[in-house]
Amino acid sequence: MHSLTGYVIGAAIVLALASLVLLRYLGIKRMPLIVYVIGVTVVWAVILGVVWFIGDPARFSTLVYVCLGFALGMLAMYIAVHVYKS
């Protein structure tokens, strides 16, 4: 893994943890689903952008397939949450 990609992933993890701490500080116990979806989309966009600029086509195409699979899983989760409301 290229060192820049590692830094981007590390920064994304730190930002996610900081946002969770901020939400807990504000008294929000559950994060809304749309915040999770937007956050994951931004992180995937950053990861794919870094791999694109590194210029490794094989790694980029592999990550695109992983990202698309993850997006399909998130779509299924989002639909299930609205269909099976508790």
Q: How many domains does the chain have?
A: 1
Higher-pLDDT residue of 4, 61: 61
Measure Cα distances from 76 to 29, 73, 81 in Å. 24, 5, 9
- Rounded to an integer, the average pLDDT of 10-36 is 75
pTM attached to this predicted model: 0.57
Residues 67, 4: Cα–Cα separation, whole Å: 19
Residues 84, 39: Cα–Cα separation, whole Å: 23
Structural domain boundaries enclosing 16: 3-83
Higher-pLDDT residue of 19, 2: 19
